[in-house]
Amino acid sequence: MRMFRQLIAVLLVVTLAACASGGGLAEAPPAPQQGPVDDYAIGVDDVVQVTVWRNPELGITVPVRPDGRISVPLVGDVMAGGLTPSQVAADIQEKLSTYVRDPQVAVILTDLRSHEYLSRVRVTGAVRQPVSIPYRQGMTVLDAVLAAGGVNEFAAPDRSSLYRKTEGETLSYAIRLDKIINRGDLSTNFTVAPGDVITVPERAF
């Protein structure tokens, strides 16, 4: 009988632990992914630099036009929008081969403008000044909230949340903003990612 009770107690502990680990807010968001620039799909207004080895007169630095194309000496218009730098370089290289013997082409992104809004971090709710700020590598929740002027007098900072869209699903993470600001507890001072939204709710009166 005693062994049976001990077995029931163990099963109860395991069940409670499983329940505690599932559901509710996730404990911490994953670190933002930094993909290689060569995998970046070029967009309208991005500035690209085209260089041709041993043919500097064929090099250009231009923004991508609204039709997604750039104009390259000798070959004319070349599609760049939606393609990676290496794909554009291969296309230019193939077209140039008609005019230049064994051309070696490189395409480099010098200014990423098209994804500006997709890569911003937004802070809303009970803050001094709701903001949409450019993402910077290493930026944290506290950095973003301070850029919004901090919380206002109506805020419930310890009920704040960070929202992140991952693979089509929006996940939320609890932020204890009062503990971060006033107690130096950085356990929820998460590193933000492009597109994150931080919301600070108002307290109930």
Q: Is the pLDDT of residue 84 over 80?
A: yes
| pLDDT-based confidence at residue 112 (cuts at 50, 70, 90) | confident
Which tens digits make up the pLDDT trace of 72-83? 999 999 999 999
Note the pTM of the prediction, 2 decimals: 0.57
Percent pLDDT > 90 in the chain is 67
- Average pLDDT across the chain, whole number: 85
Which tens digits make up the pLDDT trace of 6-57? 434 444 433 433 443 333 445 678 765 544 445 678 998 999 999 999 999 9
Q: Is the pLDDT of residue 190 over 80?
A: yes
Which tens digits make up the pLDDT trace of 117-148? 778 899 999 999 999 998 888 999 999 999 99
Tokens standing for 58?
A: 């064929």
DSSP the chain: -HHHHHHHHHHHHHHHHHHHHSSSSBSSPPPPP---GGGPPP-TT-EEEEEETT-GGG-EEEEPPTTSEEEETTTEEEE-TTS-HHHHHHHHHHHHTTTSSS--EEEEEEE--TTTTTTEEEEEESBSS-EEEE--TT-BHHHHHHHTTSB-TTB-GGGEEEEEEETTEEEEEEE-HHHHHHH---TT-PBP-TT-EEEEPBPP-
Domain annotation for the chain: domains and CATH numbers: 37-111 (3.30.1950.10), 117-205 (3.10.560.10)
**pLDDT of 102:** 94
